[in-house]
């Protein structure tokens, strides 16, 4: 009898204990759910953060973007966590607690892939997820089609031009088979997209829209910079060249209608970006070494008209203010050189956040934007005073961006997380 009573007591005790565990577990789930529901959701980013490293620091998983969009980092390095989707498909994962400051726990090399900091100058408003890289190379130059607002991005790693819609914040389609695509230029007058295909020594010419028919024209060695003269329907292509091939640093002038070259112009060294000045009817081309800007008359595009010496190492990005006739030349030395476009006179020098690449002048707001891949920033200047308005962090390696024709938005291309970050320009 005592043995039976002992057994009953043991079973009852165990049942009460299990019941308490179930109740406590239910209470925890309810409390946890209330905590999660109170947290704002910011569905901006495809980078997942989870505290799974052996040293206790969060790691980044970019292979599986989360469809629930609840575990995404916020601009500025604040994280979301406890994603139900990831728990279901990856097992129980302890994600970072809400509002975790990544700068305190994530190693800097990983944190760089997640930064995207807003400022009053450029307010971050969203991301567009782009196709993952199939090889090295990341992104390069890009341009905006004014009629549709679509952005055409040279995705060098994928031998393609990616097309995005900033309004819907979606990747629309890609134009493939553009080997080593480095430059993209949009002509709204001609309704044409032009690409420089560095790995194929060609340029591609095609209309806006999906599944275009691409016409290709052979040019010089490793084409990069592009500039277009609509009046004469001619493209100037700046060929980077190959130091092992004598005479390969050249400029190629292409006639669009004939689909053939009009001239090949030798230059003294490696070319960088190029622009066209419709007022002066000339092309300007940066040359890295010797540090100079080459000027070619569009009316007689068979030779160099003259050159402007640049007092800094490695002229790279280039743009023009046609109203004030000023050229803005961003140099590898980390300097921005402003010069008179007619005489070549140096008007000023400014320090940059790093070694720059792409430069865009905003004619509407009279601002200049300069991207530097290291550390991953965009410097913003007031071109009336040439004072720096500020610096916006993007992502390490993000050396290219595009500017909307109205000057109201900037699109930065982030190679580590294969995204386009969209920024709204603030008031002047």
**Interval 150-182: pLDDT, tens:** 999 999 999 999 999 999 999 999 999 999 999
- Candidate from 12-26, 115-129, 244-258, 302-316 with smallest mean pLDDT: 12-26
Q: Say if residue 262's pLDDT is above 90.
A: yes
Check residue 94 and give its pLDDT. Answer: 35
Check residue 32 and give its pLDDT. Answer: 52
Mean pLDDT of the chain: 82
Give the SS3 label for residue 165.
strand
Model confidence at 93, pLDDT cuts 50, 70, 90, reads very low
Q: Report how far residue 16's alpha carbon sits from residue 23's, in angstroms, rounded to the nearest whole number.
A: 10
Bigger pLDDT: 83 vs 389: 389
Domains of the chain: 33-114 (no CATH), 122-425 (2.130.10.10)
Check residue 192 and give its pLDDT. Answer: 98
- Average of per-residue pLDDT across 260-286: 97
Model confidence at 27, pLDDT cuts 50, 70, 90, reads low
Bigger pLDDT: 85 vs 296: 296
Q: Report how far residue 231's alpha carbon sits from residue 141's, in angstroms, rounded to the nearest whole number.
A: 24
- Average of per-residue pLDDT across 124-146: 97
Q: Say if residue 355's pLDDT is above 50.
A: yes
CB neighbours of residue 274 within 10 Å: 25
Bridge partners, residue 319, by sequence: 328
Check residue 247 and give its pLDDT. Answer: 95
Which residue shows structure tokens 């341009």? 143
How large a percentage of the chain has pLDDT more than 90? 71
Q: Report how far residue 152's alpha carbon sits from residue 185's, in angstroms, rounded to the nearest whole number.
A: 8
What one-character DSSP code corresponds to residue 311? Answer: S
Check residue 146 and give its pLDDT. Answer: 97
Q: Say if residue 90's pLDDT is above 80.
A: no
- Average of per-residue pLDDT across 196-223: 98
Q: Please count the CA atoms within 13 angstroms of the CA of 156 that sit on its side-chain side.
A: 20
Structure tokens at 321: 């203010």
Bigger pLDDT: 104 vs 10: 10
- Average of per-residue pLDDT across 401-420: 97
pLDDT digits (tens, 9 = 90+) for 299-322: 999 999 999 999 999 999 999 999
Residues with Cβ within 8 Å of residue 304, at least 6 apart in sequence: 265, 267, 294, 295, 296
Model confidence at 427, pLDDT cuts 50, 70, 90, reads confident
Residue 20, CA distances (Å) to 8, 34, 209 in order: 18, 21, 63
- Average of per-residue pLDDT across 220-240: 98
CA-based max dimension of the chain: 116
Check residue 118 and give its pLDDT. Answer: 63
- Average of per-residue pLDDT across 189-201: 98
């Amino acid at each position: 009898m005592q043995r039976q009573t002992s057994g009953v007591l043991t079973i009852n005790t165990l049942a009460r204990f299990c019941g308490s565990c179930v109740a406590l577990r239910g209470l925890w789930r309810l409390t946890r759910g209330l905590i999660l529901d109170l947290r704002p959701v910011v569905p901006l980013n495809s980078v997942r953060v989870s505290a799974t490293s052996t040293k206790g620091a969060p790691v980044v998983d970019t292979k599986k973007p989360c469809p629930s969009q609840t575990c995404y980092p916020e601009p500025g390095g604040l994280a979301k966590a406890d994603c139900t989707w990831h728990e279901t498909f990856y097992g129980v994962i302890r994600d970072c607690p809400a509002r975790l400051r990544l700068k305190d726990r994530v190693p800097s090399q990983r944190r760089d892939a997640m930064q995207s900091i807003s400022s009053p100058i450029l307010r971050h408003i969203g991301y567009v997820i782009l196709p993952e890289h199939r090889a090295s190379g990341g992104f390069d130059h890009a341009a905006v089609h004014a009629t549709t607002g679509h952005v055409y991005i040279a995705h060098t790693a994928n031998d393609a031009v990616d097309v995005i819609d900033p309004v819907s914040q979606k990747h629309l389609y890609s134009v493939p088979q553009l080997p080593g695509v480095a430059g993209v230029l949009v002509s709204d007058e001609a309704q044409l997209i032009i690409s420089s295909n560095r790995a194929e020594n060609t340029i591609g010419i095609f209309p806006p829209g999906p599944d275009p028919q691409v016409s290709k024209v052979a040019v010089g060695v490793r084409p990069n910079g592009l500039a277009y003269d609509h009046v004469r329907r001619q493209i100037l292509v700046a060929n980077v060249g190959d130091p092992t091939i004598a005479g390969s640093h050249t400029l190629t002038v292409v006639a669009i209608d004939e689909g053939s070259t009009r001239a090949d112009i030798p230059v003294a060294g490696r070319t960088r970006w190029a622009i066209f000045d419709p007022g002066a009817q000339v092309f300007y081309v940066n040359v890295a070494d010797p540090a100079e800007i080459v000027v070619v008359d569009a009316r007689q595009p068979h030779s160099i008209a003259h050159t402007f010496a640049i007092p800094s190492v490695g002229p790279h990005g280039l743009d023009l203010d046609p109203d004030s006739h000023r050229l803005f030349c961003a140099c590898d030395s980390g300097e921005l050189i402003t010069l008179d476009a007619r005489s070549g006179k140096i008007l000023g020098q400014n320090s940059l956040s790093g070694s720059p690449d792409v430069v865009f002048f905003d004619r509407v707001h009279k601002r200049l934007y300069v991207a530097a891949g290291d550390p991953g920033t965009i410097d913003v200047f007031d071109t009336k005073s040439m004072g720096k308005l500020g610096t916006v962090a993007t992502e390490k390696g993000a050396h290219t961006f595009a500017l909307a024709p109205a000057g109201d938005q900037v699109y930065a291309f982030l190679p580590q997380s294969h995204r386009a970050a969209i920024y709204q320009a603030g008031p002047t």
